[in-house]
Structure 1
């Protein structure tokens, strides 16, 4: 047995081998040592008395899925080694072999998957100067392919796909370009395959064989050789791990990276599109607000639409028209939601059926879903938008639903080889076997009555258990009356158990009948499953329509509930938002009303908006809500605004705060500068840039300099500039509007009252030169003594600044040699005179006071000029 185990294990060195022995899956040697720790099960050995005992652990085969899930979650591959023949009929050692390898990217079990998230495995291949990327979700049959030669866009696409596993050729270990692509993807398992499996000719043949076509022209990828190499390697990997061809992949989608609005992974995090920054959950995200889908495939498509916002105007309008119709048609919208509530995940059900991993309950779920199709089709056909045109013929699916309804029991067990699957009346042969079993219960009752009568033993009972089969039980007190033809089988404390020749023959007949019934039910079930598998292309087509309908209906429902409006699309470089709101913040704030704000951006007068104001006033909210509204318009959703006109945008970049990345030795400032460099190097005149507090990670002088230079660069880029929202505490930046014609100043309004501040959350024209930091510190709970001391220091700094024009940044002590004054590069020489005159109350000055005041100004001016 160990020889057999080692022989099989040798073919799967990178996987935990689950070796079937009776009712258990066993693991040996290193696999056992590793698995016992991960699964928290007892590590033992099979030959404890020998000098070198073999480490061993095992799990029950009926509970194996939970253990597999835990191994996969910890990044392991699992090879399932099953018995290939009946142990009762086997001569010698039972034949065994691996029937499937489960990897993080090769999962189809619902228990292991998030129902509203695709589980991708991604393959990367190089051909000439291009790099191909292909991904599949084996649980749904989704297959995609693209290629390019730009490292940044390819790396962002890999992050956008968010694969659970990556395939690479062995040679990629020495390929700087390919290695660069997967750098930073920590935690994603990488599987290296022999380069031969990425060979272009072999990969093209695999794809043509899979799709049964003469070429790949019909899929738009015949000329994409790098993409074909990546996709072909995936087809090979599926066959190697699943021990079958990828029969449920009926097509491949070829796409271009420039077709979609790009939001890099950093911006996705900053805008909290999929995960909130604090907990990583869906709650408090844009997805959490928009996703009111009712089906798993609708939820997955919603994520995809957010990952891949459209740039094509006609495609966006196509969605918007559909959303508007359902938003206005309350009856149809509610009816659709009612019907979708009864639809299961037919996309994944179809894949499981084709791969032979479905059970009777899966078929029942498919049937219940298919039975709703006529109602959904009727509603869709009565809608005007062409988005709702139903192209699929559902007649064959209705026939399949009727077949399943007639054949499969609603209460069928999860296993498919122990009977209880098929309804009575479906098969005459099966009905005979079922009746034989049920009649056997009556025969046993008659046998018990007959034996009691003949033996005069009142305590006699005829019973059954799985260990001993059928037996006759007699109490110890009456055992002396047992007839001689009874054969003792077992002795208990208070009873004796016997068998008879008649009972043994009955047991043989009844058990054979049950075995024949189980075999027949399994055969009937697999026939029905094969019928369903043949219709999988149609099932997947219907699943796609339902997913799209679900998403559009969700957009309509959310737009109705939250008072969203339809955005206009323009090609004039205009982003105009009237009374815009943050879609997430407005749903989460308590105790105050969300204050909407309007924004006007264009490429002629209002291209860069410098926004000043104190912390907590709402600058970041305004910035993020503009980015989210632009994104929502590009996915075909209505937006949280009274009115909006959005320019077709190619990229959204954000730089809105950073944390130290200590694990890679990167400080806040380094992360900030890397993100800023990415924006500067990849923005275009059609992009939207969000910059929040750039330069905070270094000294004031350096920070102002960098912020100023970055704003200038974005204004002057390619002679056209980039639409930018620039929030800052560096009030000196408002002077940019004096030298750059497309820069405009705005601030978040604050009301002062008795040295307190009230945040009005309103964006208004003009800059501000106050940060209200001390007032905000008081609101945050800083002790009063510190607040009072801070005020004194502030007054001194402002006084020094008013005279010298230079703010006191740090002072270690009175008279200290290390006192530092950092000059303000943007303050004009006459600034301090203006400030002193502003603060002077001439109504209270005597003529002598006025003369002294002018003399003081003159002396300090002369001193400042000499310095």
Structure 2
């Protein structure tokens, strides 16, 4: 084994450790020894660094590194290792130590990032599989926390968006894919594990059916290969424990509003440095609701009828505060039954997880009181006699306060089982017998400090101080000598101990039998419990929507099949919350499918252009997930795809500059447009020279309005004021700007969008607000006046006499590039045969070559 020092003599225990380590070479091996899981050799070194553990040594020569964690706290350490991307094999003791033979151990659990059910309810273990193909990718996704299992086929861009929205901890892919990249950790698996034929057989057997068509899957469907790969991986790592997995469902392409990957990041939907939409809407009272809220934010609806169904429930709760309060009291404190079921199925749960199922079931009947409210009916769990009977059984059988582990005892209530009560009474009498025996021996021997005690090594004993050793009766048998006392045992005490051990064993066995019966009955109702949990989660999210709407004065938007996107008095939900108690300046937004398809927004930096753009996008998302929105009035003609290009960022890990990332994201937008798309573009072209940037921005505007029959709705912010002239050329473009006021003290931002272009650029004014030295500002204004005058005259901005002569710059060319080769490559380009993405990539490549030829950087 790597890391094994030469000449080290291995004990039988270490030989056993290495045997299991060889079986799982890619895993950190947690090796159970008493109350600890220990790691040795390289695993110990790695774990000590990742977990901040003390690194010790096993042998006297300190040649074998060793580190360990308490077994009762192992889940917390596993969570940290999984977060670091490591895998763990847990090798547990499967026989009790007898002091004579080596304890038998076996790997009982494999922990990987995608299959780990985290101890915190806010997290979710997600595992995916992906088979890239043409024209679609086959995908499968499994939540280990909830058991949700789905698969389908999506076009590449939709597939990437789908995977990014869930951010699985592991994505399984066939081994040997060339040129394939995907966000998040990838796990390569042998190609035969993605076999569609094998997957069909596996899934048919699992669901007990002859055909999968009833689940929406045709024979030889590629998505089944992905689903089969996921299922086999779970069976392998969880040793066949897959009972909590729900029935396989089909991923429906374009069933909701599609968010491209850039939008999910740019809009800070679920996390962000300055707050997120999730943070604003999260008024959920349960872990179930908090998980579902994230899903709803990243997967809004695209069906006005389904949206209205959610809105009706929110409206009822907004209109009736007492109803909202009553529902809050029922939801508050409901346990995470989905996670509890998963842990019980995976054999990592305990009495408290079964107690969570009991508490959940005992609270469900309280939701029945809301059935007289029709808007809430679709969101209430259906009555289920079997589920209610299970809840009553668990309440009768389980103690109110439960231990972490079954072996601690005290799981079953007194009075539930007569045999168990008798065994407990026997043990209770034993304590009384020990007290009586101790008092009797003190009286008989005259040793007043005589004590009867117990430890796990020697069992029960009689302890006598050294000063009274001469009064110890002859029938006392010495068992242990300590510094200040001696410990003895008698035949009477041995007989008692045998009886007590037998009673303890019988008690543990009986309680385990009763526990297993309750566990089996509970797990048999997994599907019913999961369905009820989903309803509770939906109700919790809708209740949260109502709480936010009532507290912040949101309105109910109209979402329909029309082409109008109209918002009156709209406010950015996250910025508004951050400004409290300062008032947020509301703005109107009007777009349609004809004469107002694009708003071209100009104005200085810091005036609020990006806030306005994000407001429009977020209010559409909120409306289509069923939430009310921060506005006086809103009408949303449903959007099927939302694209955003906001903010500058480098992708240096992949060797891509800010400008390249910007162009690639723009290309994805232009190639992915649908008939009901909303496109948000902020400062296109600012990552390159002014002429290049303005040309690209101009061309993109024309493409969006003229060269596509899809004619999307567009919000386009720019610092190129020359583009405002396009409003006269393109009939669907309307100029708007963020108003500013020039005062004697400087520029005042009004944050109000007005229907006219900005009168001029305010770059120098913004520089003054940023604190640039006065001398720099004066020189800037002087140069700006000169440049503007020369631009009006049509002369060069920098006269010949002010330009540096050849050789004065001190710069040298790094590469001798053949100009003729560049011209030849340019002449061979065929723009008519290029996609927008290929065209932009070619332009970027040729520009870089041009820079090297001329020895200067124009960007």
Task: Give the TM-score band, short-chain normalised.
Answer: 0.7 to 0.9
Corresponding residue for 1:442?
432
Corresponding residue for 1:494?
484
| Cα-to-partner distance string for 1:815-843 (whole Å, 9 max, x where unaligned) | 766999xxxxxxxxxxxxxxxxxxxxxxx
Corresponding residue for 1:100?
109
Corresponding residue for 1:512?
502
| Cα-to-partner distance string for 1:268-323 (whole Å, 9 max, x where unaligned) | 111111111x3xxxx61111111211111111111111121111222222222222
**Unpaired segments ≥5 residues, structure 2:** 1-11, 810-859
Distance 2:379 2:622 in 1: 24
Distance 1:548 1:259 in 2: 18
Deviation at 1:387, TM superposition (A): 5.0
Say which SS state the counterpart of residue 122 (structure 2) adopts: coil
| Cα-to-partner distance string for 1:686-719 (whole Å, 9 max, x where unaligned) | 1111111111111112221111111111111324
Residues 1:86 and 2:77 aligned together: no
Distance 1:783 1:811 in 2: 27
Deviation at 1:740, TM superposition (A): 1.0
Distance 2:665 2:136 in 1: 26
Deviation at 1:394, TM superposition (A): 3.4
Deviation at 1:167, TM superposition (A): 1.5
Aligned ranges for residues 30-429 of structure 1 at < 5 Å? 30-43=42-55, 46=58, 55-88=65-98, 92-108=101-117, 110-111=118-119, 113=120, 115-125=121-131, 130-148=136-154, 150-170=155-175, 173=176, 175-176=177-178, 180=180, 183-186=181-184, 188=185, 190-223=186-219, 225-276=221-272, 278=273, 284-379=275-370, 381-385=371-375, 388=378, 390=380, 392-429=382-419
Distance 1:778 1:72 in 2: 49
Distance 1:645 1:806 in 2: 50
Say which SS state the counterpart of residue 258 (structure 1) adopts: coil
Of 529, 537, 540, the match for 1:547: 537
Say which SS state the counterpart of residue 706 (structure 2) adopts: helix
**Unpaired segments ≥5 residues, structure 1:** 821-867
Say which SS state the counterpart of residue 779 (structure 1) adopts: helix
Deviation at 1:781, TM superposition (A): 2.3
Give the conservation status (yes or no) of the 8 Å contact 1:119–1:164. Answer: yes
Give the direction of change, closer, same or farther, for the CA distance of 1:459–1:84 in structure 2 (3 Å limit): closer
Deviation at 1:399, TM superposition (A): 2.3
Distance 1:585 1:59 in 2: 44
Say which SS state the counterpart of residue 442 (structure 2) adopts: helix
Deviation at 1:102, TM superposition (A): 1.0
Which range moves more in the overlay, 503-512 or 755-764?
A: 503-512
Deviation at 1:126, TM superposition (A): 6.1
Give the direction of change, closer, same or farther, for the CA distance of 1:755–1:813 in structure 2 (3 Å limit): farther
Give the conservation status (yes or no) of the 8 Å contact 1:342–1:372. Answer: no
Give the conservation status (yes or no) of the 8 Å contact 2:355–2:402. Answer: no
Deviation at 1:46, TM superposition (A): 4.6
Say which SS state the counterpart of residue 284 (structure 2) adopts: coil
Say which SS state the counterpart of residue 707 (structure 2) adopts: helix
| Cα-to-partner distance string for 1:404-423 (whole Å, 9 max, x where unaligned) | 22222223221112322222
Which range moves more in the overlay, 665-674 or 118-127?
A: 118-127
Deviation at 1:353, TM superposition (A): 2.8
Corresponding residue for 1:606?
596
Give the conservation status (yes or no) of the 8 Å contact 2:241–2:345. Answer: no
Say which SS state the counterpart of residue 168 (structure 1) adopts: strand
Say which SS state the counterpart of residue 737 (structure 2) adopts: strand
Residues 1:537 and 2:517 aligned together: no
Corresponding residue for 1:651?
641
Residues 1:572 and 2:568 aligned together: no
Give the conservation status (yes or no) of the 8 Å contact 2:242–2:345. Answer: no
Distance 1:794 1:430 in 2: 92
Which range moves more in the overlay, 55-64 or 606-615?
A: 55-64
Which range moves more in the overlay, 267-276 or 28-37?
A: 28-37
Corresponding residue for 1:832?
none
Give the conservation status (yes or no) of the 8 Å contact 1:126–1:226. Answer: no
Corresponding residue for 2:744?
754
Give the direction of change, closer, same or farther, for the CA distance of 1:307–1:463 in structure 2 (3 Å limit): same
Deviation at 1:590, TM superposition (A): 4.8
**What RMSD in Å do the two structures reach over aligned CA positions?**
2.5
Residues 1:631 and 2:621 aligned together: yes
Corresponding residue for 2:732?
742
| Cα-to-partner distance string for 1:617-653 (whole Å, 9 max, x where unaligned) | 1111111100111111111111111111111112111
Distance 1:377 1:72 in 2: 41
Deviation at 1:566, TM superposition (A): 1.4
Distance 2:358 2:128 in 1: 32
Give the conservation status (yes or no) of the 8 Å contact 2:269–2:298. Answer: no
Corresponding residue for 1:825?
none
Q: TM-score, normalised by structure 1?
A: 0.87
Distance 2:379 2:288 in 1: 19
| Cα-to-partner distance string for 1:474-522 (whole Å, 9 max, x where unaligned) | 2222222222222233333333322222122222222332222122212
Corresponding residue for 1:696?
686
Number of aligned residues: 796
| Cα-to-partner distance string for 1:572-604 (whole Å, 9 max, x where unaligned) | 321111111111111101574211111111121
Distance 1:200 1:88 in 2: 50
Distance 2:420 2:675 in 1: 72
Considering only CA atoms, is the larger Rg found in Structure 1 or Structure 2? 1
Say which SS state the counterpart of residue 371 (structure 1) adopts: helix
Give the conservation status (yes or no) of the 8 Å contact 2:141–2:151. Answer: yes
Give the conservation status (yes or no) of the 8 Å contact 1:101–1:241. Answer: yes
| Cα-to-partner distance string for 1:57-83 (whole Å, 9 max, x where unaligned) | 443333332332232222111112223
Distance 2:514 2:711 in 1: 69
Residues 1:8 and 2:14 aligned together: no
Corresponding residue for 1:849?
none
Distance 2:356 2:225 in 1: 37
Distance 1:441 1:84 in 2: 31
Give the direction of change, closer, same or farther, for the CA distance of 1:219–1:286 in structure 2 (3 Å limit): same
